Structure 1
Amino acid sequence: MKFGQNFSKTSIEWIVDRTIALESNKGKMCQETFLLIDVGTTALILGSKGPSIQSHRNVRNITVFARGPGLKAIIFYHVCDIELCNRANSTRMLIDSIPSVAPTVRGRQPCPICLHFKGVCNSKSNLAICPRGTRCYMSDLTLHGGGLSAIFSISGCLVYPQKFLMKNQSSIGTITLLETRLMPKRKSSSQVLVPSILLTWMFGLLALCLQRSILC
């Protein structure tokens, strides 16, 4: 796991010198998974290499969940059954798979921009004006499996009309995902209704005073 900046533009190397032996008759395979999340001000790379308990055919897949502008999320997943076949050594394949987008146009809506590990993103996080065509997004993302167990708080600008950063995906290979979308706090009904009722009462009283030609 690595935090930093510009991971959607600059590749990160991952050299592994530790291996384990698997019993071939158990139906296990080798796997590797890379997850990249970039909120703009901060980026995250998560990586997992090791055995896969799933006995399926060889798979090599890259899925772009969010391409920007604003939030970016992309996963590389590879399962194979040849010795030391999970040998990807950098995140270059993720960067090369991010589709290009048109130049962003500044919108009007301010949103908190935040990425925390075991932390909390809130409305007091760094605010930024979202690009046109995006809206505020906030969630907790829980990952478990493949040697990983982590929860992240994420907020940023997600392209409209997409509602979920990971598009409701529940698993990627050996890793399970749980995306809990959070809604920004709104004023209670009492806070909204009381001023309105008071204003209506004042206008009614003023009209009554004018009709009776009295001073109020």
Structure 2
Amino acid sequence: MQTMSQHPPHWDSLPPTVPGSVRCPVCLSTEGCASATELTCPAGDTHCYNGILLISGGGIFTSLRLQGCTSEAGCNLLNNIEKIGALTVREYCIHEDPASSNQDVLTCQRGVMVKLQTNSAQTPVEWTASGSQTCEAGEMCQETLLLVDVGHRSLIVGSKGCSQIRTHESPTVTVHSGPPGMLVASYARFCSSSGCNRADSSSVLLDAIPRPAPPVPGDLQCPACVELFGSCSENSDIVTCPKGTIRCYRGSINLRGGGLSSSLDLQGCMAQPSRYLLNHRHNIGVFSVIENLSTRLQDKKNSFITE
């Protein structure tokens, strides 16, 4: 019988790193990289990487700021991979001029708005900032609105401030789910001049979405509720859904970013074939969002479907 060696296995050690001529800030943080340490890159790494990974799924909702050395320019750290197991990953690069050591630093309006009331889908509400914020180099100003209307009650959430995400500067209005069922719509704008995130009311969203005709009652009844920082009760108000709705919705949206970290609990009437209000979307402006369905959804025949 062959005896086993008593000596531990031996692996060749990695060759020593040869320093190159490029120096880059190096940082891995969920908070920011304002105090990143600058190090000499290994030979062969000729560019500095500066970006953000937005990671969501599996109970994780976070943004990871990355700086370091890389062998090629561009924004493709993950080789275009967007799914890693249960996680969804989005990559955003912060494009800075390497020839300039004095980056333009913006001052942006800053504040969070949360209003739970009636008629927010028809009547604009005031959207003012509580103060201002000096951004880090390379950041943009942002303003994001999310509106959820279940019929008799609506929630509008807004955020203004600095953003590490650098993207298009044209406002984006999206109707994620619309009448005759629950209305979920959003407005997002990123801009690159001081104080440019100065929309003063929710009309920037309401004026850009279609106004539906008065609803015709249908034959489906559903509990209707929207709650922030809480849960819909088993005794939520029952409403008669408009004609054209096909099921009752029950679920939640986990919301992170822009100064907010909470869960929206939702019940209401739904018209679209998809059972998801956000159609698997994971980012709305500065917000990271994850939608979770209840395990029991009610259709127009008042039977329950298990997802």
TM-score computed with the length of structure 1 as normaliser: 0.79
Runs (4+) of structure 1 exceeding 4 A deviation are none
Residue 89 (structure 1) aligns with: 200
Residue 9 (structure 1) aligns with: 122
1:177 to 280, 289, 292: 289
8 Å CA contact 1:49, 1:146 repeated in 2: yes
Q: Deviations over 1:26-70 (max 9, x none)?
A: 310000001111111211110100001013342410111122123
Q: Determine helix, strand or coil for the equivalent of 1:19.
A: strand
8 Å CA contact 2:145, 2:157 repeated in 1: yes
More off after superposition, 66-75 vs 148-157: 66-75
Structure 2: runs of 5+ lacking an equivalent:
1-113, 299-307
Percentage identity across paired residues of the two chains: 37
1:20 to 133, 141, 150: 133
Residue 202 (structure 1) aligns with: none
**1:1-216 mapped onto 2 (5 Å cutoff):** 1-16=114-129, 18-23=131-136, 26-134=137-245, 135-184=247-296
Using the alignment, how far apart are the partners of 1:32 and 1:53 within structure 2? 13
Q: Deviations over 1:101-145 (max 9, x none)?
A: 344332212110111123222553111121221121111111001
More off after superposition, 120-129 vs 142-151: 120-129
Using the alignment, how far apart are the partners of 2:157 and 2:297 within structure 1? 30
Using the alignment, how far apart are the partners of 1:175 and 1:70 within structure 2? 23
Deviation at 1:168, TM superposition (A): 1.4
Deviation at 1:17, TM superposition (A): 5.1
TM-score computed with the length of structure 2 as normaliser: 0.56
Deviation at 1:4, TM superposition (A): 0.5
Q: Determine helix, strand or coil for the equivalent of 2:278.
A: coil
Structure 1: runs of 5+ lacking an equivalent:
187-216
Using the alignment, how far apart are the partners of 1:185 and 1:157 within structure 2? 11
Q: Determine helix, strand or coil for the equivalent of 2:171.
A: strand
Using the alignment, how far apart are the partners of 2:184 and 2:262 within structure 1? 16
Using the alignment, how far apart are the partners of 1:86 and 1:61 within structure 2? 13
8 Å CA contact 2:153, 2:225 repeated in 1: yes
More off after superposition, 59-68 vs 36-45: 59-68
Matched length: 184
One-letter code of the match for 2:293?
Answer: R
Q: Deviations over 1:164-195 (max 9, x none)?
A: 11221101232100110113379xxxxxxxxx
Using the alignment, how far apart are the partners of 1:15 and 1:30 within structure 2? 15
Residue 193 (structure 1) aligns with: none
Greater helix fraction, Structure 1 or Structure 2: 1
Q: Deviations over 1:53-96 (max 9, x none)?
A: 01334241011112212311110000000111001010012211
